[in-house]
Amino acid sequence: MWDNFIWFSAASMLLWILGVASLYMNKKSSLTGNILISAGLVIFLIFILLLWGDLKHPPLRTMGETRLWYSFFITLVGFVTWLRWRYKWLAGYSVLVSGVFIMVNLLKPEIHFTNLMPALQSIWFVPHVTVYILSYAMFGAATIASFIAIRELKNKSERLMPLIDNLIYIGLGFLMTGMLLGAIWAKEAWGDYWTWDPKEVWAFITAAVYVVYIHARAQKYPLRIILWILPLAFIMLMITWLGVNYLPAAQGSIHVY
């Protein structure tokens, strides 16, 4: 079945790219774009289901199989967010990330023989990581917007605030979901849902700074203070994502795979 992956993924990728292109080109109606993207999702899902039938167990055991779900879910969630919030760039971005995972699967399949350690062989792994990646996309965009908004404050313009608040709420929605799924997984795998493991400490810090932003906004604190929270939060996010393993306090973390 894996031999056919290239055909299915090429078809899905093509439909997704055409779909996103159509969204950008066709200003009046997004119907064609939506149909194309949905068709790509259906084809991708069909491949997963066929593989499932072929393997006789859900394709969740190897790294390659896990990446299939990433590719699928990232595009799906990007698409749903587009339908709800009309962010074209997010639909495009999610297709791009999905394409990267598809390429990795084609070039370095790791289908039969990846040594996925037992603790990672969990149904929580994929949703936990996928949802996190999406929140990072939202927060990344919000951070860029916050720099522009800080500059525009001089002209008393608050044009970008609805967009920024929106991205932060959506991003925090994903981030909290990722964190909670991680907690439920940790309980199943290690016996405790929260142990203040270094990665958990930094994930907590990141979420907490965004929570401070939301509450400070609700309190209507001055924007010239509040807006600086966002770059700060993004630094925390980067430390959580990439930096934790290098911190001296993190030696012996369960997350250092």
Partner 1 sequence: MADKGKREQKIAIEAVIVAAITVAGVALQVLTGGFNREILAFPANLILVTAIPVLLILFKGAAKHLASGSLSVILISVVTIIALYMGLVPGNSAKSSWPFVLIYLALLINLTASVLMRLRTFKIRKDISFMLNHIGLLILLFSAGPGSADKARYFMRVFEGKVEWRAEKSGSKESAEAVELPVAISLEDFEMDEYPPKLAIIERNTGIALPEKRPIYFEAILNAASTIERWNLVIDSVLYKPGFAPAAFVRVTDKYSDVPTEGWVSCGNYFQHFKTLSLDSTYCVAMTFPEPKEYRSKVEVYTQSGKVKNGVVRVNHPMTIGGWKIYQHSYDSARGRDSVWSLFELVYDPWIIPAYIGMIMMIFGAITLFWKGGKS
Q: 38 is in the binding site of which of partner 1, ligand HEM, none (Cβ under 5 to 8 A by kind)?
A: none
Scan for tokens 């499932």, then name that residue. Answer: 52
In whole angstroms, how close is the CB of 25 to partner 1 at the nearest point?
27
Residues 60, 211, 212, 254: which binds ligand HEM (CB under 6 A)? 211
Nearer CB in complex with ligand HEM: 91/223:
223
Cα(146)–Cα(233) distance, integer angstroms: 11
Other C-beta atoms lying within 10 Å of the C-beta of residue 241: 15
Tell me if 104 contacts partner 1 by CB under 8 A. no
Q: Which of residues 153-192 bind ligand HEM (CB under 6 A)?
A: 172, 176
Dihedrals phi, psi of 132, to nearest 5 degrees: -60, -45
Residue 23 one-letter amino acid: L
Residues 53, 107, 115, 242: which binds partner 1 (CB under 8 A)? 115
Residues 25, 107, 117, 218: which binds ligand HEM (CB under 6 A)? 218
Cα(151)–Cα(90) distance, integer angstroms: 24
Residues 57, 107, 113, 154: which binds partner 1 (CB under 8 A)? 113
Residue nearest to ligand HEM (CB): 218
Dihedral over Cα of 21, 26, 31, 32: its sign: negative
Cα(144)–Cα(95) distance, integer angstroms: 20
Nearer CB in complex with partner 1: 36/164:
164
Tell me if 97 contacts partner 1 by CB under 8 A. no
# residues contacting partner 1 (CB under 8 A): 55
Looking at 29-37, 101-109, 144-152, 187-195, which segment touches partner 1 (CB under 8 A)? 187-195
Tell me if 230 contacts partner 1 by CB under 8 A. no
Cα(199)–Cα(112) distance, integer angstroms: 30
Tell me if 9 sits within 8 A of 44, measured CB to CB.
yes
Tokens of 204: 């907590």
Tokens of 112: 């039969």
Nearer CB in complex with ligand HEM: 55/211:
211
Other C-beta atoms lying within 10 Å of the C-beta of residue 56: 6
What is the secondary structure of 130-186 as a DSSP string?
HHHHHHHHHHHHHHHHHHHHHHHGGGT--TTHHHHHHHHHHHHHHHHHHHHHHHHHH
In whole angstroms, how close is the CB of 131 to partner 1 at the nearest point?
9
For the chain, the C-alpha Rg in angstroms (whole number) is: 20
# residues contacting ligand HEM (CB under 6 A): 7
Tell me if 133 contacts partner 1 by CB under 8 A. no
Tell me if 196 contacts partner 1 by CB under 8 A. yes
Residues that bind partner 1 (CB under 8 A): 84-85, 113, 115-119, 121-122, 162, 164-170, 172-174, 176-177, 180-181, 183-184, 187-194, 196, 198, 201-202, 204-205, 208-209, 211-212, 215-216, 218-219, 221, 239, 247-249, 251
